[in-house]
Structures are given as C-alpha cells and as structure tokens.
Amino acid sequence: MRITVRIALAVVTVLIIAFAIRSFMLPARSVAVFIAFDEGIRPSAPTNPLFSTGELRFAGYDPVQLGGTDLGVWDEVVIIDFDRTADYEAFVDELDRSSIVARYHLLRVRPEPPELLLFTNWRLRGFRDDPSIEPGESVPIADVVPDATYLDRWQALFDGEYRDEIVMLNLLRHAEVPEDPANEASDASAEELYARYSDRATRVLGKLGGQILVLGSVENVVKGPTLRHYDVYAFVFYPSVDIFEVMFTAKERVDAQVYQRAGLSGEQSAGYWVKPYPDSIPIDH
C-alpha cells in the first residue's frame, strides 16, 4: 500500500514539475500581425529590427486574401512570441511610432501546447503512406471556391508563375447558429460540424505532405481595419502551389466541404495565401 502511495505521489510530482517547466517556456504574449509598409519600403521580416524584442514563429510575404470580408492589402504577416509582457507592449508602441509602417492589423493569439502541434504533424505524416487515402478526381475550381468574389484570385494563384512553397492562413469564426446539413433536427455545435470536415480534410492534407505551422485560439483583435473576432487560427504549409491545388480541388475534401461551410461564418472568417520566408519552411517537407 505504501509503495502504491509513493508511486502515485512520485507521478503527481513529476506532472507538477513538467507543467511548471512547460508554463515557464510558453510565451507571455503571442500575436499575429499583418503589416503594410510605406510606399517603396518593405524590409524583410527575419532581418527587421522591429521584431528584435520577440521571437518569430512564422513570417511570410505578399499575402493575398481569398475569403471573408475584404480587409485590405498587406505586405507581410508574422506570428511573434514575447517572453515578457513589457516586450510586447514595447513592440506595439514601436509599431505605432514606426515611420515605415503605414498600418497594421494585430491579433493576440494563444498557441496550442507544443506537444499538441507535434502530435498533429506526427499524425499527418502517418497519412503519407496510407494506401486507403485517395484524393479522388479534381473538382472544377468554380464549384469549390466558397465566395465567388474571390474566384479570380484563386484562379490567378493556380495559373500564376509562383509555384514554390505556400502557406494558407486560416482565421476562423464559428457559426453562431449552425445547421447540420445531414440532419435538420440535429443539435450539433459549430465546432462538431467543422470537425466532420476537418477529419476528412486532414487525411488528404497529410497524404499530400502538408503540415501545420502554427495553431491556436484567437484571444482578441487589438487593432485592425475593423475590429472583429475570430475563434481559431491555423497556418497550413504546402510543399508547392501544385500540391495545394490538388488538395483544394480533391473530391475527398470537397465532399466534406458542406460541413465546413455549416460550421463557419463565411463573412467573419478570413483566408489568405502567403509566400513563406525560408526560416518558416519546415526542414522535413
């Protein structure tokens, strides 16, 4: 009996210590920032002293919006962590005073625990050699794009000269009054409906070599063209534009898209594609 108690106490102690270490390692603040620079001025994020007080978790350039209410044109988007709240406050102050920043859109975010992100990508890699996963035939883009307003931008992406690595930025707002397309009497939540889509889409994503770069919840929007609330953010990496086109038009994913649309607010969510800087490209892709 005493041995059992001692083992239990030891396990609890280890868990407490592990939690304390992990809490210490998590950033005090984490933010996503869209930046538009003054005409003709656009320093590269990895070398920009503006970000020197924090640690860049992601940096990309030339973001193009592909969904949601139009929030304007931006030059860069970054995710940056701060070890101290004071560093975050100094960063926001520097953004406001900067002579090269024309405007910015800043969201305070809360990243998922690192071990969850590692597990998610480990699971995605497990789909690469799964013979049961077949993306299926390609569905015409016009039948897939959720908002026809952005159809030309989607077409320009897939027909354009840029063919290298690409990251899709997803800023998602859950539907306030979700309706289950499979059962009108269902009381499924928006999160449950979106999960039905995600379960099928992630299989195709993993099969094609995609990875999740950053993932978490959005605490609040600090500043932007319009103050709006998102629930979730996820930046998804694809090895090439061609691979992303296969993913986007894959029948396996498109067949589940009805649940994606049922679980999300189309107007209050936002989507972008962006070119990642080299430091934000996974080594093992």
**pLDDT tens for residues 194-210?**
999 999 999 999 999 99
For the cut 70, the answer to whether the pLDDT of residue 227 exceeds it is no
E strands, the chain, in order: 29-37, 55-67, 76-82, 101-111, 166-172, 211-223, 232-238, 270-276
- For the segment 253-264, the average pLDDT, to the nearest whole number, is 93
Instruction: Tell me the pLDDT band of 19, cut-offs 50, 70 and 90.
Output: very low
Task: Spell out the residues 6+ positions from residue 77 whose beta carbon is closer than 8 angstroms to its own.
Answer: 32, 33, 34, 35, 58, 59, 60, 63, 169, 272, 274
Domains and CATH numbers, the chain: 22-109 (3.30.70.920), 111-277 (3.30.70.100)
Using CB atoms within 10 Å of the CB of residue 92, give its burial: 0 to 12 exposed, 13 to 18 middle, 19+ buried: middle
pLDDT in tens, 30-63: 999 999 999 877 789 999 999 989 999 999 999 9
pLDDT in tens, 129-185: 999 998 888 999 989 998 889 999 999 999 999 999 999 999 999 999 888 888 877
pTM: 0.88
For 14, 19, 88, 114, the CA distances from 25, given in Å and listed in that order, are 17, 10, 16, 10
